Amino acid sequence: MRRFLLRRLAAIPLTLLAVSVLIFTATELIPGDVARTILGREAGDAAVARLRAELGLDRPIMTRYFGWLRGFVTGQWGDSTLLRVPVRDLVLTRLGDSLILGALAFALLVPVALTLGLVAGVNHDRPADRIISVAGLTLGAIPEFVTGVILLVVFAVRLRWFPASAQAPDGASPLTRLGHLLLPALSLVLLCTGYVARHVRASTVNAVESPYAQAIELRGFTRGQVVRRHVLRNSTIPATSALGVQLQFLLGGLVAVELLYNYPGVGALLLRSAVEKDLPTLQATAMVLGVLYMLIVLAADLAYRLLDPRVRLGAGAS
Amino acid sequence: MTTAGNGGGVEGPAAGNGGTAGLSVEGLSVAYRTGRGAATAVDGVSFHVAPGETYGIVGESGCGKTTLSRALGRHLPRNGAVTGGRVRVDGVEVLDLAPADLRSWRAASLAVVHQDAGGSLDPTMRVGAQLAEIFRLRGLSRAAARAEVPRLLARVRLPDPVSIARRYPHQLSGGQQQRVVIAAALTARPRLLVLDEPTTGLDATVEREILDLIWGLRSEIGAAVVLISHDLGLVGRLCDRVGVLYAGRMAEEGPARDVLTRPRHPYTAALLAAVPRLGESRHARALTAIPGHPPVPGEQVTGCPFAPRCAFADDLCAESAPLPEAAGAEHEVRCHHVDRLPDRPVPVDVAAPSRTGPGTPVDVAAPSLAEAGTPVDVAAPSLAEAGTPPGEAVPGGPLLEVRGLTRRYGRTTVVDDVDLTIGHGEVLGLVGESGSGKTTLARAVTGLGTRGPGTIRLDGQVLPAGVGRRDARARRRVQMVFQSPDASLNPSHTVRAILARALRSLRGSSSPQELGARAGLAAHLLDSRPGRLSGGQKQRVAIARAFAGDPGLVVCDEPVSALDVSVQAGVLRLLADRQRTSGTSYLFISHDLAVVGYLADRVAVMYRGQIVEEGPAGQVLHGPHHPYTASLVAASLARLGEPGGDPGTVPPGRSGATGCRFAARCPQRIDGLCDTEDPPVRTEGSGHTIRCHLGTGDLPRGTPGAATGAAPDPAKQKEDSPA
Ligand code: SF4
Ligand code: SF4
């Protein structure tokens, strides 16, 4: 276990290094001259050249990459070329907001998906299972911006149950904030529930049909007891890895949903800095997301390992 | 002694009263819903088991054994249903119980032990918690349930019950897991105990321990016991009565002694003829497989379902199904032509010949080592007839020479400095319990698995350890047949393509048709893919492929372990035939002593990475032999409930870095010598070596006096002497 953890932790910097190369080259490849974009079409060539020098864009690419990398590692993320504020504060505040939204979505996703998956698995091949499976698949196939728009139109515009913007006015109570976040969180949940539920269903079917579940039922336990005490645990453990995958999806879904609901998270920031060629912000945001992504994968793996005694304790000392 | 007191168990409420005691099954029929309508899997089966009696159910897979066992606990799969008949346990009509009553009946009166013990335990829950849960179901408080668990584990003779209770199932060995499952069955005082292949997959010595345990508890709890098994020997040794299922019907039913020694139904006789007897050699008798396979449930059968495979079938058999007829005291047979089967005892060791006379059913059904000696004697002369003494006197030296082979996994040495020689045209059988290193050794010979020190010579030339570094010729000369052919047959290719490919890569000169025909594969199967073949057919494909070129050595790793006896006989026969016609050598691994003894010229016995004994098959099995070999032979033969032979009665000693590795379990251990000094390898007759401190006179031999009589005595001395 400790060896696993060390190995995985050691792998993170290496992976991040590769990611940083990718991010750097990809952002460099965005067409158009950054300095000209910033200064506008009318600016003179001299001004553009001066800004290029100021931004260090005239230096060779390798120098710039290492400079940028050193900056990122030491926490000097530079200033946003667009907003003229330190990138670090910008990204970290936005990240905090995004995490709140993501956490809410996750908190909704887990019970909903587990319940649906369990119900489908215990009643597998019966109508309840069919409905849940088909619904999950269908919803999972619809992109989050589509479900987002539908939710927005129905619940915010027509029914007016929820505000259309995810951003609560300053000084609003936590409950109001929650109300503002509910719709965007819901569109993320709808996207992921089907996938997670499908995994839970599969492992539930396995557990229900497993010899041990049968043996336990033969000892005189009710179906309900078997499900509560044995099936539940055995079906949720394998599902942790599915949850890990879905968390990554959630991260991706944030971009569209934040934009749609006008929520100031990292997703929106990423998109805007890309459009506006705000390279320092773009690069830092991408890197932060990369770190986050890897931590999620690690956490999911770790959770699985901690939950499953077969993995946690290894082969038996018998 | 680790044996804990057997008394003081928890008493479950005895369900039901009145009516006949024990289990009564009357006209039970079970059908499955399938796409093509109802498929009858069990068809009008009736039998009775008195409390304390053991009833064996045998038959090939697909004959309804498992369905029947599940119907007894009314635990059929969702698409199965009882379509007729009744199951009564101590007067309780099980099939009429309301769901809630069924649950409480199960809790109080039913105990089921399945084949795969590991599978019957929740992998995510500590063993103790799983047992406590059952006590809780019986109304015990949390604390009382927890206190009860170690006592229960001690009752199934698990050492250190407190620590066992804290483990997860995967931290226990197969035998320990099975003990835990048996313990679960003992939380109540069951009236019906269903044992569904309880020891399949366990090593012979562990099997013996588990059976002894079940045997002891059987009389203690006085339940009606139903034992379902494909192992006729096991059923013969354990059961009072036997029912032979064929196509869901009881083909023959009666006292175990009668049914297994004087079978009156052609199917029973055919099953018995398919099993090799311990000590019987391929040179002495060709095994007879049963052609074809049992009808699939739901298949339209007119007349006797066995007719297509029966040697005695005639028009009457094809037209009308036979009804049960009495064929002796409490012995019924469903066959039109009971008189056609020669009425003579089948000389099988699975049940004692009638000359042992009547006695308690156990005694009668159990073979004794005295009889086991006989087949060996029979085999011995035929070995001599076989011509050249195997493994020797062939010009050009041996085919395979392994010297000082060592293989490690991490810090464990799995194969430790092993020497092995296989002559041209010789079959070397390799036996040993799981973990003894036999598979690792075989893989090393084929160039698979980890690398390590030691040399492997084929035809005098040193082979590199890794198969990738061996030249093409060496690779062609060594072929392998695995236990499960699925892993090695490409599922997307037809049999013809698989064989054609093998012919190309092995430079064979024949055609796929010819290869298939030689392996006994029907021509129409050549265009099937492996997924459509039965286990036996797949194994035939694997064998055909191994013989596509001109193999010098074929390594067979448990090639028949997963097969039914009727199919196993055919595959063993094929292996014997191919060996005889091609003169190929085999390294043949099996956990089944009778199978190894049947096919092998020489036998090597492996224990914890070392070869502890090696020699001509007859001598190794017959003795004088190594104490470990003796325990293997005893485990596969000795009667149950007999003191001594049970390895569990030997106090566990410690095996340190030095001394004999078997010392911890050896009943004849010489304290002060065996546990400190490595035993010498001594020669016992021509080409027979034994790694043991004992002198020739002290070595156990396959006679009743030595293996079951003398062995326990030193064991007793051992217990008394300070270890
Ligand atoms: S009834 Fe006929 S076919 Fe059936 S077992 Fe008897 S002899 Fe064979
Ligand atoms: S050397 Fe000693 S302990 Fe080992 S098998 Fe022989 S008698 Fe038993």
Residues near B640 by Cβ (< 8 Å), separated by ≥ 6?
B211, B212, B215, B237, B238, B362, B366
Gap between the Cα atoms of A64 and B398, Å rounded? 70
Which ligand is the nearest neighbour of the Cα of B303? Answer: 1
User: What residue owns the CA closest to ligand 2's atom 6?
Assistant: B692
Measured from the alpha carbon of residue B627, the closest ligand is: 2
End-to-end C-alpha distance for chain A, whole angstroms:
19
Nearest by CB to B171, which of A230, A233, A316? A316
Place of tokens 């083909």: B251
- Quickly count helices (H) and strands (E) in chain B: 24, 24
B527 with B495: CB under 8 angstroms? yes
Is B359 touching A (CB cutoff 8 A)?
no
Given a cut of 60, whether residue B558 has pLDDT beyond it is yes
- How many C-beta atoms lie closer than 10 Å to residue A25's C-beta? 11
Of ligand 1's listed atoms, the one at least distance from the Cα of B304 is: 4
B421 φ, ψ to 5°?
-130, 135
Total CB pairs under 8 A between chain A and B? 80
Q: What is the torsional sign of CA A313, A316, B4, B7?
A: positive
pLDDT confidence of residue B1: 38
CA distances in angstroms from B278 to B354, B364, B701, listed in the order given: 18, 18, 15
Q: Measured between alpha carbons, how far is A43 from A53 in angstroms, rounded to an integer? A: 15
Tell me, in angstroms, the distance from the centre of ligand 1 to residue B267's CA.
8
Ligand 1 pocket by Cβ (under 6 Å):
B 266, 304, 306-307, 310, 312-313, 317, 322, 335-337
Q: How much distance in Å is there from the Cα of B38 to the middle of ligand 1? A: 25
Q: Which two tokens stand for residue A16?
A: 């991040």
* Portion 134-163 of B in contact with A at CB < 8 A: 134, 137
Q: How far apart are CA B246 and CA B294, in angstroms?
A: 7
Rg (CA), chain B: 26
Q: What is the pLDDT of residue B362?
A: 30
Nearest-CA neighbor of B214 among B25, B433, B54, B23? B54
Q: What percent of chain B has pLDDT over 90?
A: 27
Torsion of CA B411, B561, B510, B579, to 10 degrees: 90
- B508 band by pLDDT with thresholds 50, 70 and 90: confident
Q: Over the Cα atoms of chain A, what is R_g? A: 24
pLDDT at position B357, please? 30
Q: Where are the beta strands (DSSP E) in B277-344?
A: 324-326, 332-334
Nearest chain A residue to B116, by CA? A211
| Start-end of H helices in B110-141 | 127-137
Residue B87 has pLDDT above 90, yes or no: yes
As a CATH number, domain B4-11+23-239 is 3.40.50.300
Question: Looking at chain B, how many residues does it have?
Answer: 723
Query: Which of residues A73 and B14 earns the better pLDDT score?
Result: A73
- Residues of A within an 8 Å Cβ radius of B: 210-212, 214-222, 229-230, 233-234, 237, 307-310, 313, 315-318
Q: Over the stretch B647-664, which tens digit does the pLDDT of each residue have?
A: 443 444 444 567 888 888
Q: Which residues share a beta bridge with B249? A: B246
Per domain, the residue ranges of chain A are: 87-307
Residue A229: list chain B partners with CB under 8 A.
133
| Cross-sheet strand order for the sheet of B585-589 | B478-481, B553-557, B585-589, B427-431, B602-607, B610-616, B689-691, B681-683
The reported pLDDT for the residue numbered B706 is 31
Query: What atom in ligand 2 is closest to the CA of residue B627?
Result: 5
| Interface touch A222/B103, C-beta < 8 Å | yes
Domain boundaries, chain B: 4-11+23-239, 365-612, 623-642+658-709
Question: What is the separation of C-alpha A251 from the centre of its chain, rounded to a whole number of angstroms?
Answer: 2
Give the pLDDT confidence score for residue B346 in this predicted structure.
54
Say whether residue B201 is in contact with chain A using an 8 A CB cutoff.
Answer: no
How confident is residue B44, by pLDDT bands cut at 50, 70 and 90? Answer: very high
Phi-psi region of B37 (alpha: psi -120 to 50; beta: other; left: phi over 0): left
- Per-residue pLDDT band at B206 (split at 50, 70, 90): confident
**Distance in angstroms (rounded) separating the CA atoms of residues A36 and A27:** 16
A87-307 to CATH, choices 3.40.50.300, 3.40.50.360, 3.40.630.10, 1.10.3720.10: 1.10.3720.10
> According to the per-residue pLDDT averaged within each range, which of A23-32, B278-287, B305-314 is highest?
B305-314
- pLDDT in 10s for each residue of chain A, 318 residues: 677 788 888 888 888 888 888 888 877 766 666 677 777 777 777 777 787 777 777 777 778 788 888 888 887 887 777 777 888 888 888 888 888 888 888 888 889 988 999 999 888 888 888 888 888 888 877 777 787 778 878 887 777 787 777 777 777 777 777 778 888 888 888 888 888 888 889 889 988 888 888 888 888 888 888 888 889 888 888 888 778 877 777 777 887 888 888 888 888 888 888 887 787 888 888 888 888 888 888 888 888 888 888 777 765 433
Going by their DSSP bridges, the two strands B553-557 and B585-589 should be labelled as parallel
Which DSSP string corresponds to B377-418? HHHHHHHHHTSSPTTSS-TT--SEEEEEEEEEETTEEEEEEE
- What is the average pLDDT across B289-295? 83
What would the two tokens of residue A318 be?
A: 């018998």
Distances (CA, A) of B551 to B401, B490, B519: 16, 21, 15
pLDDT at B542: 92
The closest-lying atom of ligand 2 relative to the alpha carbon of residue B693 is 1
B373 alpha carbon – ligand 2 mean position (Å):
23
- b/e for B564-578, b at 16 or more Cβ within 10 A? bbbbbbbbbbbbbeb
Tokens 């041996």 -> residue: B398
% of chain B residues with pLDDT over 70: 84
- Chain A CA closest to residue B130: A216
Strand partners, B29: B84
**CA B347 to chain CA centroid, nearest Å:** 20
Between helix A279-307 and helix A2-28 the angle, nearest 10°, is 160
Q: What angle do CA B609, B461, B611 make, to 5 degrees?
A: 15
The total number of residues shown for chain A amounts to 318
Rounded Cα distance, B58 and B657, in Å: 45
Question: How far is CA B387 from its chain centroid?
Answer: 32
**Alpha-carbon gap: B129 to the closest alpha carbon of chain A (Å):** 11
Q: How far apart are CA B492 and CA B503, in angstroms?
A: 18
Mean pLDDT over the full length of chain B? 79
Band (pLDDT 50/70/90 cuts) for residue B369 is very low
Given the CA of residue B626, which atom of ligand 2 is nearest to it? 5
Determine the residue of B314, B316, B335, B340 to mutate for testing ligand 1's pocket, defined as the one with the most ligand atoms within 8 A of the Cβ atom: B335
Residue for token pair 């986050």: A292
What is the assigned CATH class of domain B365-612? alpha beta
Smallest CA-to-CA distance from B690 within B681, B700, B679, B698 is with: B681
pLDDT for the residue A30: 67
Q: What pLDDT, on the 0 to 100 scale, is given for residue A31?
A: 64
**Quick check: helix, strand or coil at residue B229?**
coil
Select the residue of B114, B137, B184 nearest A211 (Cβ to Cβ): B114
pLDDT at B131 over 80: yes
Nearest to B107 among A220, A229, A237 (CB): A220
Q: Confirm if B90 and B172 have CB atoms less than 8 A apart.
A: no
Instruction: Give the separation between CA B608 and CA B631, rounded to whole angstroms.
Output: 15
> Of the ranges A288-297, B97-106, B556-565, which is most confident?
B97-106
- Nearest partner of B442 among B583, B590, B545, B578, judged by Cα: B590
CA-CA distance, A205 to B78, in Å (whole number)?
A: 13
Instruction: Show residues of chain B in contact with A317, CB under 8 Å.
Output: 171
For the segment B142-170, the average pLDDT, to the nearest whole number, is 88
Token pair of A213 as six digits: 């579940």
Tell me which of B170, B202, B434 to substitute to probe the interface with A (most A C-beta atoms closer than 10 Å): B170
Instruction: Report the sign of the C-alpha dihedral through residues A141, A145, A146, A149, in that order.
Output: positive
DSSP state of B526: G
pLDDT band at B420 (very low <50, low <70, confident <90, very high): very high
CA distances from B46 to B23, B75, B85, B541 (A): 10, 18, 9, 40
Residue B497: the pLDDT is 92
Name the token pair of B194.
Answer: 């269903």
- On whether the CB atoms of residues B208 and B242 are closer than 8 A, the answer is no
ipTM: 0.74
B206 to chain A, any CB pair closer than 8 A? The answer is no
Instruction: Give the 3-state secondary structure of chain A.
Output: CHHHHHHHHHHHHHHHHHHHHHHHHHHHCCCCCHHHHHHCCCCCHHHHHHHHHHHCCCCCHHHHHHHHHHHHHHCCCCECCCCCCEHHHHHHHHHHHHHHHHHHHHHHHHHHHHHHHHHHHHCCCCHHHHHHHHHHHHHHHCCHHHHHHHHHHHHHHHCCCCCCCCCCCCCCCHHHHHHHHHHHHHHHHHHHHHHHHHHHHHHHHHHHHCHHHHHHHHCCCCHHHHHHHHHHHHHHHHHHHHHHHHHHHHHHHHHHHHHHCCCCCHHHHHHHHHHCCCHHHHHHHHHHHHHHHHHHHHHHHHHHHHHCHHHHHCCCCC
Ligand nearest to the CA of B664: 2
pLDDT tens-digit profile of B604-645? Answer: 999 988 999 999 998 898 878 899 998 888 877 654 434 333
Where are any strands of DSSP class E within B291-375? 324-326, 332-334
SS3 B464: coil
- Mean predicted confidence (pLDDT) in B267-278: 86
pLDDT at B702: 64
Tell me if residue B77 falls in helix, strand or coil.
Answer: coil
End-to-end CA, chain B: 13
Write the residue with the smallest CA distance to atom 5 of ligand 1. B335
How far apart, in whole angstroms, are the C-alpha atoms of residue B658 and residue B350?
Answer: 40
Q: What is the mean pLDDT of residues B287-313?
A: 85
For ligand 2, atom 7, name the residue with the nearest CA: B669
The pLDDT value recorded for residue B383 is 34
